Amino acid sequence: MLEAVEQLPLAQFLRRDLFAYPIVNALHILALAVLFTTALLMDLRILGLGNRLDLKAVIDTLRPLAVGSFGVAVLTGVLLFIVQPLHYAPNPVFWSKIVLVGLAFANAGYFVLARRHLDPGSSRTRLSAVMSILLWTAAILAGRAIGYFGSE
Amino acid sequence: MSFFARVSVLAMLTGLPLTLASPALAHHGWAWTSTDARFELSGTLTEIYIGHPHATVEIDDGETIWHVDLAPLAATLAAGFDETAVAIGEPVTVIGHRAADAGQARMKAVRVVTSSGTFDVYPRRAAALGD
């Protein structure tokens, strides 16, 4: 399965083209920057920072940016992965990062679906905002660590 | 604390030790190598990877299969080293620095020598070898 992924024409192109990989790599970082910043600003607003800004306006403005940048981050992340799938798959640090992203995404999904922003005074909503900041930070730290630790 | 929050905290607390438990396998940079000591390895090529984020070869010295990191793709190609420089099964010598953890058969090469030539994938470090 991973061997087949490795042989995809797109994977071979990304592996060997001088510019495609660095560009995808940079786009991944750019997407993380937008995602982390927008999530952080929404979380901080829930926790009380910038209370003179209307909560609904903040969420309505930032949420589409967060969702869109998450999509770009996943797409570029998949592209980076298929360059050396057999190299990353056995790496425990890679899997820590994936689990952390999954948890951060689940936390965000709960927040959106349960419409928690309508109830910023609730302790569950505030806990969710704190978890969001911690999980996205941990996911980024783990992601950066992939290149330095645990590689075969 | 909710179940979800507990799982999340657990994941963060396990992620960090997992990371710290495996620094000896690091490959970015030179911090994981003994840069003050020259290391030379000769054997037969068992694997070659020319691609992003950096090129690698594997070399069988008769006892162990060594994992050898080369330079990033652009620098490796600029040195003239690719799959045409050496074939699987052919003899190859690499010079550079081995992992600081001597229990590991891993090193980072600055120079690769094959029957088709000498390739300085890290030219400044290769010049500093004084060979």
Shortest Cα–Cα distance, B127 to chain A (Å)? 25
A38 vs B27: CA distance, rounded Å = 32
pLDDT at B13 over 90: no
- Say yes or no: B11 and B55 in one domain: no
Specify the number of domains making up chain B. 2
Q: Within 10 A of A4 (CB to CB), how many other CB atoms are there? A: 9
Neighbouring residues of A129: CB distance < 8 A, sequence distance ≥ 6: A42, A43, A44, A46, A47, A111
pLDDT at A82 over 70: yes
- The CATH number linked to B37 is 2.40.50.140
B14 pLDDT band, cuts 50/70/90, is confident
Closest Cα partner for B122 from B54, B53, B70? B70
- Say yes or no: B46 and B26 in one domain: no
- Say yes or no: B23 and B11 in one domain: yes
Shortest Cα–Cα distance, A56 to chain B (Å)? 25
- Say yes or no: B66 and B82 in one domain: yes
CB-nearest to A100 from B1, B12, B77 is: B12
Tokens of B75: 């620098």
For residue B22, list chain A residues with Cβ-Cβ distance below 8 A: 92-93, 149-150
- Say yes or no: B75 and B63 in one domain: yes
Find the domain containing B56 and state its range.
32-127
B3 vs A87: CA distance, rounded Å = 33
- Say yes or no: B112 and B101 in one domain: yes
Q: What is the mean pLDDT of chain B?
A: 89
CB-nearest to A127 from B2, B20, B74 is: B2
Q: How distant, in Å, are the alpha carbons of A21, A138, B10, B65 from that of B17?
A: 30, 13, 11, 28
- Say yes or no: B69 and B117 in one domain: yes
B91 pLDDT band, cuts 50/70/90, is very high
- Say yes or no: B12 and B37 in one domain: no
pLDDT for position A7: 96
Shortest Cα–Cα distance, B74 to chain A (Å)? 6
- Say yes or no: B27 and B68 in one domain: no
pLDDT for position B22: 58
User: Crossing angle for the helix pair A123-145 and B3-20, nearest 10 degrees?
Assistant: 20
Flag if A93 and B1 touch (Cβ within 8 Å).
no
B54 pLDDT band, cuts 50/70/90, is very high
Neighbouring residues of B3: CB distance < 8 A, sequence distance ≥ 6: none
- Say yes or no: B13 and B47 in one domain: no
Flag if B8 and A142 touch (Cβ within 8 Å).
no
